[in-house]
Structure 1
Amino acid sequence: MNKITINAAQQRYVIDCGEGYTCLGFANARDHANQIASKLGHADLSFTNEDYATLAGYEKYSRAVQAWSQSPLTRTTYVDPGTDAKAARVLESCRTRERKVRLILGDTSTGEPWLEEHDVVGRIGRSTGSLKVPLLIEPGEHGGSAILCACLLAIVDWESGDFLYRHAAYREADLSIKPSGDADRSWSVLRREEVVASFRDIGKAGAYLAFMRGATIEPRVFQ
């Protein structure tokens, strides 16, 4: 059995896997256990105030995951706690239809995009294991990275450019292009006067700006 220790300063469990370590935040353990308890109708798996940041809490989280793995729901797609139900439905529809999409991730409380350019274009897949989470699989790849479902601001259909999902708080990034004064990278893209990217030619700067505002432009155009 893995050895579990508590890192109170960083608010996480540290799991010794034998050949390395992995971590799980206290809040994540609580939220996943509570979500599973709710979906399975097992109130005994929900966290109490005394469970938070304790080894007993990690044990309860583990029991919740085990209970999920033994239920019929383990065959369904599992999304992060706090994921918008509509976003989850759109992801699943895109997965079953093998639809190529563009994901826009960010802060769902402010609607501010993170300006991610990697791991945001591809089709939706699904992991194996007890909790089968959505994956973003880039063109030409067979596997991919887990999607931060609770941080989805928008899902854009790649072919049409239509927004399949738009979070209520989402707002397009406030970006502008200005000369940088740098001979090597003459053009800068700014967000509210802060430089977020620099380019040698204005065409790439424009493509980057359009992509970050939701346009379906291949990232390789500006990378």
Structure 2
Amino acid sequence: MVNVTLNTEQQLYVLDHGHGCTCFGFTNARDHANQMAERLKRPDLAFNEADFRALSGYQKYLAAVDAWGKSPLSRKTYFDPATDPKAARVLERCREANAKVRLILGDTATGRTWLDEHDVVGRIGRSTGTLKVPLLIEPGADGGIAVLTACLLAIIDWESGKFLFRHPRYRAPDLLIRPSDDTERPWEVLHDEQVVACFWDIGKAGAYVAFMRGETVEPRIFQ
């Protein structure tokens, strides 16, 4: 039995599982419950003003998940409420076509990329369970990690290099390669005047920069 308490200062539901605790944000619970309520046409499952800072809000979320699991919609892919609708459609097409893609993740408010080099190239799969979320499955892997769909800045077709989705705020990062004083890794890459990577070979540094700017360069070339 999970014991749920409130941390109103940080706006979190604190879930005590007996062997440890997890947290779930008030905003997350509200947005997911409201999305499911709308799609199920069940306004009774949506948050009202009093639910946001109360245990009743978490119960609304659980009720919405339960109702979703009993509906035909549970057979469809479930996306985070903040996912760009175009990105969701592109991910579904890629999943159905078993297409290899490159994902660029970051802050959708600013368009700034996180410069991820791991867990961003693969095919789109889908989880099991009540809420079947998109997964990124890397080559040779049987399973994958959940895609942070609300943080997608771009989706690139790996074979053609074409942008299938590009967030309106996304801008390719400005990266600079320069020599360093490190004899083992004499080349460094800067982003906003901060060192983000170092390499022993300038060719690897160039491949890293190309990858981070959206080119379909195999990460193993520079890793």
Under a length normalisation based on structure 2, what TM-score does the superposition of the two structures give? 0.96
Counterpart secondary structure, 1:211: helix
CA distance in 2, matches of 1:187, 1:100: 31
Tell me what 1:20 maps to: 20
CA distance in 1, matches of 2:8, 2:188: 41
CA distance in 1, matches of 2:218, 2:27: 36
Matched residue count: 223
Tell me what 1:101 maps to: 101
Gaps of 5+ in 1: none
Counterpart secondary structure, 1:14: strand
Gaps of 5+ in 2: none
Counterpart secondary structure, 2:50: coil
Most deviating of 44-53 and 88-97? 44-53
CA distance in 2, matches of 1:160, 1:150: 25
Deviation at 1:87, TM superposition (A): 0.4
Deviation at 1:11, TM superposition (A): 2.6
Q: Does 1:51 align with 2:51?
A: yes
CA distance in 2, matches of 1:214, 1:86: 19
Under a length normalisation based on structure 1, what TM-score does the superposition of the two structures give? 0.96
Most deviating of 62-71 and 39-48? 39-48
CA deviation profile, 1:131-172 (whole Å, cap 9, x unmatched)? 000000111111111111011010001111111111111110
Tell me what 1:129 maps to: 129
Most deviating of 6-15 and 182-191? 6-15
Tell me what 2:151 maps to: 151
Q: Does 1:67 align with 2:80?
A: no
Most deviating of 81-90 and 46-55? 46-55
CA distance in 2, matches of 1:180, 1:52: 52
Instruction: Assess, with a 3 A threshold, how the Cα gap between structure 1 residues 210 and 68 changes in structure 2: closer, same or farther.
Output: same
Tell me what 2:203 maps to: 203
Tell me what 1:116 maps to: 116
Q: Does 1:6 align with 2:6?
A: yes
Tell me what 1:31 maps to: 31
Q: Percent identity?
A: 66
Deviation at 1:19, TM superposition (A): 3.7
CA distance in 2, matches of 1:9, 1:198: 41
Deviation at 1:53, TM superposition (A): 2.8
Deviation at 1:185, TM superposition (A): 1.4
CA distance in 2, matches of 1:143, 1:11: 33
Tell me what 1:184 maps to: 184
Deviation at 1:55, TM superposition (A): 1.0
CA distance in 2, matches of 1:154, 1:184: 34
